[in-house]
């Protein structure tokens, strides 16, 4: 997907004469991410179609929640935003993706990431009586949709979800996709943060889920470093198992629907792990 004509006009107004340095888009959904060079320096522009709900969340998160990271230069500053056109621009921070880089195996990466996440989570908190029920309902909706989970496993998943406790929980600002593909590392070894498209109020432990399944299995030293940086571990056992089950269902179903076969297989593996622990 390219910028729409209206989005391109908006971006041209923000950065006259800008040239595209690199297309940083993932290619899985209709989101465009462009690194631009302009007279005033460099910027990252992110845009999506009118039905995309992630861009508005990302703009809101930059407006409300990125202060702890901005003050230390760990995330780009929001320069411009047009909610009607679903496009915004951030200041550019140089760095390489941590995923598949040597930094992905470095304990200090996770120590820094834990500290960054703790500062983000500590900004605010509120209690929800309905969060657990809402998340169980969302998992059922995934199972009601299109996927390649076998009927027998779907039946078992529904049984486990029906048995869930649904207590009141504390919610904090969360990133929603806290893992190495959303961290950069710069030449000074500092970890930087990108992609707040899933930012929302959730229990703190939910930001541990993708790391636990994708980065920490068989590498306990990385997990210890992260918890050291975070200065604690919010993963209460029952809530953690509920979170991992829902995460597994969402991963398998979403990945099937967008055609991401590697992620889909990962989701099926996560489902097997979650059911084994249920």
Residues 233 and 129 in one domain: yes
Q: How confident is the model at residue 30 (pLDDT cuts 50, 70, 90)?
A: confident
Residues 143 and 32 in one domain: no
Q: Domain end: 93, 108, 135, which one?
A: 93
Q: Is the pLDDT of residue 183 over 90?
A: yes
Counting the structural domains of the chain, the total is: 2
Structure tokens, 86:
């679903």
Q: Domain holding 237: CATH number?
A: 3.90.1200.10
Residues 158 and 198 in one domain: yes
Residues 87 and 121 in one domain: no
Residues 146 and 179 in one domain: yes
Q: What's the order of all strands across the beta sheet hosting 200-202?
A: 126-128, 169-174, 200-202
Residues 121 and 178 in one domain: yes
Residues 142 and 36 in one domain: no
Q: What does the mean pLDDT of the chain come to?
A: 97
Residues 254 and 201 in one domain: yes
Whole-angstrom distance, CA of residue 132 vs CA of residue 81:
33
Residue range 110-161, pLDDT digits in tens? 999 999 999 999 999 999 999 999 999 999 999 999 999 999 999 999 999 9
Residues 88 and 122 in one domain: no
Q: Is the pLDDT of residue 228 over 70?
A: yes
Query: Looking at residue 172, what is its pLDDT?
Result: 99
Q: Domain holding 33: CATH number?
A: 3.30.200.20
Angle at 87 between CA 84 and CA 88, to 5 degrees: 120
Q: Domain end: 37, 71, 93, which one?
A: 93
Q: Are 53 and 176 in contact (CB under 8 A)?
A: no
Residues 158 and 265 in one domain: yes
User: What range does the domain containing 109 cover?
Assistant: 97-277
pLDDT mean over 9-21: 97
Q: Domain end: 71, 93, 115, which one?
A: 93
Q: Is the pLDDT of residue 23 over 80?
A: yes
The kind and range of the H/E element at 32 are strand 31-38
Residues 116 and 184 in one domain: yes
Residues 151 and 199 in one domain: yes
Distant-in-sequence, close-in-space partners of 62: CB < 8 Å, separation ≥ 6: 78, 81, 88, 90, 196
Sign of the Cα torsion 100, 102, 106, 110 reads: negative
């Amino acid at each position: 997907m390219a910028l729409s004509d209206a989005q391109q006009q908006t971006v041209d107004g923000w950065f006259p004469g800008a040239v595209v340095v690199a297309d940083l888009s993932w290619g899985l959904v209709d989101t465009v991410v462009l690194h631009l060079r302009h007279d005033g320096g460099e910027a990252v522009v992110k845009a999506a179609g009118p039905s995309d709900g992630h861009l508005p969340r990302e703009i809101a998160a930059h407006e409300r929640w990125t202060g702890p990271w901005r003050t230390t230069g760990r995330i780009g500053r929001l320069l411009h935003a047009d909610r009607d056109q679903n496009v915004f621009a951030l200041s550019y921070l140089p760095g390489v993706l941590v995923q598949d880089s040597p930094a992905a195996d470095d304990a200090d990466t996770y120590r820094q990431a834990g500290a960054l996440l703790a500062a983000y989570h500590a900004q605010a908190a509120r209690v929800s009586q309905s969060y657990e029920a809402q998340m169980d309902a969302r998992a059922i909706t995934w199972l009601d949709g299109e996927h390649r989970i076998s009927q027998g496993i779907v039946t078992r998943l529904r049984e486990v979800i029906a048995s869930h406790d649904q207590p009141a929980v504390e919610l904090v600002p969360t990133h929603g996709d806290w893992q190495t593909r959303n961290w950069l590392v710069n030449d000074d070894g500092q970890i930087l943060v990108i992609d707040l498209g899933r930012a929302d109020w959730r229990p703190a432990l939910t930001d541990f889920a993708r790391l636990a399944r994708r980065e920490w299995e068989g590498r306990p030293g990385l997990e210890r470093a992260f918890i050291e940086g975070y200065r604690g571990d919010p993963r209460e056992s029952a809530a953690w198992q509920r979170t991992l089950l829902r995460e597994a269902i969402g991963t398998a179903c979403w990945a099937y629907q967008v055609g991401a076969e590697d992620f889909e297989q990962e989701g099926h593996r996560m489902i097997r792990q979650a059911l084994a622990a249920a």
